[in-house]
Amino acid sequence: MTPPFAARRARLLEAIGPRTAAVFVATPTAIRNNDVEHEFRQDSDVFYLTGFDEPETVIVLAPNGRLKDDSGESRPVTLTMFVRPKDPEREVWDGFRWGVDGAKQSFGADAAFNIDELGKRLPELLARHDAVVYRWGNKAFDDRLFGAIQYARRTAGRSGIAAPTRIIDPVEVLYEHRLRKSPDEVAKMRRACSITNEGHRRAMETASPGRYEFELEAVLLETFRRHGSERPAYGSIVGSGPNATVLHYRRNDRRIEDGDLVLIDAGCEYGYYASDVTRTFPANGKFTDVQRAVYQAVLDSQLACIAMVKPGVTQGEIHDKAVEVLTERLVKLGVLSGDVKELIKKEAYKPFYMHKTGHWLGMDVHDVGSYFLPTSDGTGKHRPLEPGMVITIEPGLYFGIGAEAAPEALRGIGIRIEDDILVTEDGYENLTAAIPKSVEEIERVCARA
């Protein structure tokens, strides 16, 4: 299969036109403590456009780019890569690097330089362009880019050569491309979802009172890696008992008790594509009546939301459906009382359902792409789904142990159910449908001898 990177760059160049350049920067490396670094994971844009996975990399796409060579001759370049140079001594310690020649020979760069030359070369590359596609927010690099633009303005400007006067956020161009997944990308996401299926099943089978949350986390990670996933797509959440009500719980260090529900929000990354799945199940294999009632409320809202998915529907409408079903059920559960429509208007559900119902999914777990289309008054309106988009649907109900507004029997119960949904021409495909979800299926997989 031909690597997709050159075609992606061509598509971006076509979209931005001949007078706009684009600059993308590798994820900065970060110290964890003393001389230990956090694991490096390439920036999704850099990988999407080049497949290059080394740190300290900057890529410049410059449709009107020219660079002087050693003889002073100026020649056109479109893709220039700034990379770590070959360094036999460092490579003994840290492993292979592609270096400058590798960037040209194996990654399609028209020119490549040691990253140390960025300051010197960037103004020359940005000259002859009116705008630069760049996502600001990387403080250290923002200053470098603005410095290079200023330099290009001072030098090129005086001779009549254009220099950029505008920064364009990639959300306007590149993220429209990343938002709609190609068949190759969907294939990677399918694989990620299928590995995640096995991880969740094995975690359900392993969980039992007396075991620790981290044992389930270990089962997930072991399953992901064994099947060739590079890493989890985000920090796995394994929350038992009251920890299931903590939305971003990450300690995963509690002993699981009899009668607990366990909420696992975990998904692997495969080939740079994320899966993002939540399941909630009884540690001893059997829901109590109260747990089952809350579980069924969340499940019914999730199923109603999934059934809506098709081109033209918006994530706003899906969220409204989740809120509607959950509010009705909160009344049935005796948590809220009054007219459902009024309760929704007053956002009475918010103490128990405080997050949105889903997000884009792709190379990033909270994937890029705008959720709204612009309106003339600047408020934006929810954008309709299109084939090839992938979203999560993940309603939940959370009754913290201190939630005095909830009946005592519900306190300490947290439930979320999350699937990954591909929008198709005439509806949807649930990429994580194989992961146990109905009460019966969950109780079967979790059954204890």
**Helical (H) or strand (E) element with 12:** helix 5-16
Tell me whether residue 248 is one of the annotated catalytic residues: yes
276 binds ligand GLY (CB under 6 A): yes
Tell me whether residue 418 is one of the annotated catalytic residues: yes
Helix (H, G, I), strand (E, B) or coil at 77: coil
Among residues 213, 359, 419, 428, the one annotated as catalytic is: 359
Report residue 90: phi and psi, to 5°.
Answer: -65, -35
Q: What is the dihedral of CA 100, 104, 110, 115, to 10 degrees?
A: -20
Among residues 11, 225, 227, 355, the one annotated as catalytic is: 355
The H-assigned helical ranges of 51-117 are 88-94, 99-107
Q: Nearest approach, Cβ of 220 to Mn ion (angstroms)?
A: 13
| The one among 394, 396, 410, 421 contacting ligand GLY by CB under 6 A | 394
Nearer to ligand GLY, 124 or 420 (CB): 420
Binding to ligand GLY (CB under 6 A) within 109-168 occurs at: none
Amino acid present at 145: L
40 contact choice in ligand GLY, Mn ion, none (CB below 5 to 8 Å, kind-dependent): none
Tell me whether residue 416 is one of the annotated catalytic residues: yes
How far apart CA 252 and CA 249 sit, in angstroms, is 7
Among residues 124, 260, 328, 394, the one annotated as catalytic is: 394
Nearer to ligand GLY, 190 or 359 (CB): 359
Nearer to ligand GLY, 65 or 232 (CB): 232
Nearer to ligand GLY, 214 or 234 (CB): 234
**Helical (H) or strand (E) element with 133:** strand 131-133
Among residues 54, 276, 367, 419, the one annotated as catalytic is: 276
Tell me whether residue 276 is one of the annotated catalytic residues: yes
Q: Nearest approach, Cβ of 418 to ligand GLY (angstroms)?
A: 6
As given in the structure block, the two tokens for residue 147 are 């410095």
Report residue 204: phi and psi, to 5°.
Answer: -60, -40
Binding to ligand GLY (CB under 6 A) within 23-52 occurs at: none
Among residues 75, 226, 366, 448, the one annotated as catalytic is: 366
Among residues 248, 289, 425, 440, the one annotated as catalytic is: 248
Nearer to ligand GLY, 185 or 394 (CB): 394
Q: Which neighbouring-strand residues pair with 37?
A: 31
Among residues 201, 416, 420, 428, the one annotated as catalytic is: 416
**The residue count for the chain:** 449
CA-based nearest residue to 323, from 352, 362, 294: 352
Q: Which neighbouring-strand residues pair with 360?
A: 391
Q: Cβ(435)–Cβ(197) under 8 Å?
A: yes
217 binds ligand GLY (CB under 6 A): no
214 binds ligand GLY (CB under 6 A): no
367 binds ligand GLY (CB under 6 A): no
**Helical (H) or strand (E) element with 50:** helix 44-50
Q: Nearest approach, Cβ of 276 to ligand GLY (angstroms)?
A: 5
Nearby residues of 445 by Cβ (< 8 Å), 6 or more positions away: 201, 204, 205, 281, 436
234 binds ligand GLY (CB under 6 A): yes
| The one among 43, 56, 198, 265 contacting ligand GLY by CB under 6 A | 265
Amino acid present at 439: V
Helix (H, G, I), strand (E, B) or coil at 178: helix
Q: How, if at all, do strands 268-270 and 231-232 pair?
A: antiparallel
| The one among 365, 368, 403, 446 contacting ligand GLY by CB under 6 A | 365
How far apart CA 413 and CA 397 sit, in angstroms, is 8
The H-assigned helical ranges of 268-417 are 289-308, 315-332, 340-345
CA 132, 137, 142, 146 dihedral sign is: positive
Residue keyed to tokens 């934006």: 380
Q: Cβ(278)–Cβ(393) under 8 Å?
A: no
Residues that bind Mn ion (CB under 5 A): 265, 276, 392, 418
Among residues 56, 213, 217, 418, the one annotated as catalytic is: 418
Q: Nearest approach, Cβ of 250 to ligand GLY (angstroms)?
A: 11
Tell me whether residue 398 is one of the annotated catalytic residues: yes
Nearer to Mn ion, 356 or 382 (CB): 356
Q: Nearest approach, Cβ of 358 to ligand GLY (angstroms)?
A: 8
Question: Residue 380: left if φ>0, alpha if ψ -120 to 50, beta else—which one?
Answer: left
Tell me whether residue 394 is one of the annotated catalytic residues: yes
Nearer to Mn ion, 32 or 248 (CB): 248
Q: Nearest approach, Cβ of 235 to ligand GLY (angstroms)?
A: 8
As given in the structure block, the two tokens for residue 156 are 């090129």
Tell me whether residue 359 is one of the annotated catalytic residues: yes
Q: Could you list the residues that contact ligand GLY (CB under 6 A)?
A: 234, 265, 276, 359, 365, 394, 418
**Hey, which residues are catalytic here?**
35, 248, 265, 276, 355, 359, 366, 394, 398, 416, 418
